[in-house]
Chain A
Amino acid sequence: MERLKPAATPPHTGAERTFDLAKGSVRELNQFLHHELLDSGVKHIDVLNPKGAHSIAVGIDHPVDIDVRGHGGYYLGGMNKFANITVHGNVGWGVAENMMSGTVRVNGFASESAGATGHGGLLIIEGDASLRCGISMKGIDIVVGGRVGNFSAFMAQAGNLVVCGDAGDALGDSLYEATLYVRGRIKSLGADAHVEDMTDADCSKVGDLLKRAGFSYDPTEFKRVASKRSLYHWNADAGQEY
């Protein structure tokens, strides 16, 4: 599958800081981000030896660029506001969960529930994302370079999920007003999700998200998946077979 690497990150200006998690703890990193970042003038942080630790760089509330040099654990970049976080490796469950704004980029693959409940910002996964990617998303944009696993965008309420590869079973089950765009094969759609025609506005939106994510696919290759809205209101006449 064609995957173009994004342009190199622009050189950082301003103060730099390095946290080596082989020597210090994730708590020290996060306490700096929560309580000292704003006054420190630090604009760029390198996180070394993450070794799959959980909750790296969660709850940031200020603009800062962060490079995580290795594989992250669960909830990396969770609740992020304003920060641009790049992971040079894979991540565990719940990357960028409940993100508000900013960017989280994962060079490798992401485990389950990537971008879960995210309200805003952009999550880019250059490799594959596992099951339940974008579950209950509420406004976040997610671009996945590879495939997404089963039950992705389950009960997704707002925002866009762009999948450059294939999608697994039950895509967009019980979907609300989020829109899903899939370039590859959709194994199956979930309840109340269906494929709709791509409009010019869709092509323009997908083109913009792909560009920001660093992919050069043609937006017209994507299918649009949205809610049929047939589950929005209770239908007492429907055959109640479960």
Chain B
Amino acid sequence: MCGIVGLLIKNPGMREQLGELMTPMLIEMAARGPESAGMAVYTQQLPENERKYSVYAPEWDYHWAQFEGEFVKRFGTDAQLAVKGNHAILTCDEPAKSVKPWVKQSFPGLHVLAAGRAMDIYKDAGHPADIAKRYDFPKLVGTHLVGHTRMATESAVTPDRAHPFTAGEDFSLVHNGTISNPFMIRRKLEHHGIEFETDNDTEAATRFLEWRMREGDNLEEALQKGFEELDGFYTFLIGTRDKLALVRDAFACKPAVVAETDDYVAIASEFRSLAHLPGVNNAKLFEPMPEELCVWSV
């Protein structure tokens, strides 16, 4: 069992409240996943030539100043580092293809969780309420987010196996369920030069869908291919730079509830996560049908 939560703010005046509205949603879903939790939040986009990287360190008091110093020395460029304990968001004008290999080689203890122009990721092992407090989730500001509370079935409980998983740029996915053919997917993608970072089934689904989109599919087409190739039980909630997408497998084995108002679209595994939201009693409430594509744009 796992819990998923998602929120897309339609009313620009409410974007400051994104984290405040989401945090009780995540904590309520701790009952479905008390072991680890994570959040991908989509903020204001950086200019075309800039990128930001969410970096995870193995200890809370990591010497980030040294990392920043080495980065500036290596790339000879300005970098901004926003630190929250063992997470840091590095903003610079270097592309992922140069930053990621450099981090791997020079700081093997660090893990680049995400890259892009809009997305920040925070994820860790621990109770979702502790994680929300650890990274100041109530203060998160942005347009939309996807979050997860994990009860592991397929791989160990570690920070890098917590959801959301990411691939490419500004693409995140959270999953409730189990993929039955992750190694088939993985072998297929490895032939295309795609590298995996964990043994987790959700990572295979994430990399498959993101690969389809890089091959030219739009999000809807990629999800349609996912129905054909991903075997197993799943509710997926997916974030891209400007969209939020929700799908359930052909047997709808895992739950999802949507509440939509003029101000927001809120998604959770169960209604109890949405019960505190303003105006939820007058919201349009529904559960997606099996293999129904639910996609919302910012």
Total residue contacts A-B, CB cutoff 8 A: 47
Given contacts A70-B281, A131-B252, contact A53 B287 (CB under 8 A): no
Given contacts A52-B270, A70-B281, A92-B270, contact A111 B287 (CB under 8 A): yes
- Interface size class on chain A is 20 to 34
Q: Which residue of A lies closest to B276 (CB)?
A: A51
Report which of A71, A112, A149 forms a contact with B275, defined as CB distance below 8 A: A71
Chain B hits for A190, CB < 8 A:
none
Interface bits A50-84 vs B (CB < 8 Å: 1, else 0): 01111000000000000000110110000000000
Check: B285 CB closer than 8 A to any chain A CB: yes
Report which of B255, B272, B290 forms a contact with A51, defined as CB distance below 8 A: B272
| Interface residues of A, dominant DSSP | loop
**Contact B271 A92, beta carbon cutoff 8 Å:** yes
Question: Closest Cβ of chain B: how far from A94's Cβ, in Å?
Answer: 11
Chain A hits for B271, CB < 8 A:
51-52, 71, 73, 90, 92
- Interface size class on chain B is 10 to 19
Q: Which residue of A lies closest to B286 (CB)?
A: A109
Report which of A73, A93, A112, A131 forms a contact with B272, defined as CB distance below 8 A: A73
Chain A hits for B272, CB < 8 A:
51-54, 73
The docked-state distance in angstroms from the alpha carbon of A236 to that of B142 is 63
Chain A hits for B252, CB < 8 A:
112, 130-131, 149-150
Check: B289 CB closer than 8 A to any chain A CB: yes
Question: Closest Cβ of chain B: how far from A86's Cβ, in Å?
Answer: 17
* A residues neighboring B (CB under 8 Å): 51-54, 70-71, 73-74, 90, 92-93, 108-109, 111-112, 130-131, 149-151
Given A71-B271, A111-B287, 10 more A-B residue pairs with CB atoms under 8 Å apart are A53-B272, A54-B272, A73-B271, A90-B271, A108-B285, A109-B286, A111-B255, A149-B252, A150-B251, A151-B251
Q: List 18 A-B contacts (CB under 8 A).
A: A52-B275, A54-B272, A70-B281, A71-B275, A71-B285, A73-B271, A73-B272, A92-B255, A92-B271, A108-B285, A109-B285, A109-B286, A111-B287, A112-B252, A130-B287, A149-B252, A149-B289, A149-B290
* B residues neighboring A (CB under 8 Å): 251-252, 255, 257, 270-276, 281, 285-287, 289-290
